[in-house]
Structure 1
Amino acid sequence: MKKLFTLVLMGLAILSSTACKHPGKEAEVITEAVPENKDETTKDVFTDSYGEKIEVIINHTKGTATVHLEGKTYDLKKSDALPEYTASNEEYQYSNIKGNITLLKKNVDMVLFHAKREAKGSGSAKMASY
């Protein structure tokens, strides 16, 4: 009887030890597929004489411009008919012509932002005299 009891106890111990060893959860690996952005973009921030800032992101590949001004975003499409870089939609027009940056509302001819880009290297120029 003691042998049977010991045998049953050993069997239960072996059974319980193997039953409790369930496979642990494998760590989930989430890999986000980051698409390669092959668009050629430029980002500029301009400040006007009043201290207002405008952020312009130009996507040269798609021919679009995204303008951020005073918490609003304007999505514009490049206009080839107008000079230098000009983008517009049915309501707004952004232009950067010879360093004059302008965002205007077309239907009321109201300028929302205007700034003149400072010429690069326009520091004090000293000429050497010989």
Structure 2
Amino acid sequence: MKKLLTALLFGLAVLSQTACKHPGKDAETITAATPENTDDISKDVYVDSYGEKIEVTINRTKNIATVHLNGKTYDLKKSEALPDYTASNEEYQYSEIKGNITFLKKNVDMVLFHLKQTKKESGPAKMASY
């Protein structure tokens, strides 16, 4: 009788355990809405003839240029008084004028990076013959 009662109680415990399991609710995923970045940003990497690499990120909306050179980062503000795209702070100046990219230290007139880009030339013009 004890064995029957123990088996019956064990069976009821197992049955109630499996019967009480409801399908679990899916975990709620909350995603924060990120505002769209409407800034006009351009990112360029230049390599000079010595193999030195400079990475320039220009935010034309905020008029900020960020220059990465030799593991250091320089934040520069756009200069309206200077030609083409020129940005500077108290110590450094970055300019991109007619394909000449120059990054220099102003107070000692030391050029840290200079690259003169060659313009891509098209092939000879084809003339029609009649």
Asked if 1:98 corresponds to 2:98, the answer is: yes
Shift of 1:113: 0.1
**Where in structure 2 are the equivalents of 1:33-52 lying within 5 Å?**
33-52=33-52
* Alpha-carbon separation, structure 2, partners of 1:126 and 1:22: 77
CA RMSD across the alignment = 3.3
| Alignment TM-score, normalising by the size of structure 1 | 0.76
Partner of 2:124: 125
Shift of 1:47: 1.5
**Where in structure 2 are the equivalents of 1:1-130 lying within 5 Å?**
16-17=16-17, 21=21, 24=24, 26-120=26-120, 122=121, 125=124
Counterpart contact for 1:46–1:117, Cα < 8 Å: no
% identity of equivalent residues: 71
Shift of 1:128: 5.0
Shift of 1:116: 0.6
In structure 1, the gaps of 5 or more residues are none
Shift of 1:127: 6.2
Q: Following superposition, which runs of at least 4 residues in structure 1 exceed 3 angstroms of deviation?
A: 16-26, 123-130
Q: Read off the aligned partner of 2:83 and give its amino acid letter.
A: P
In structure 2, the gaps of 5 or more residues are none
| Alignment TM-score, normalising by the size of structure 2 | 0.76
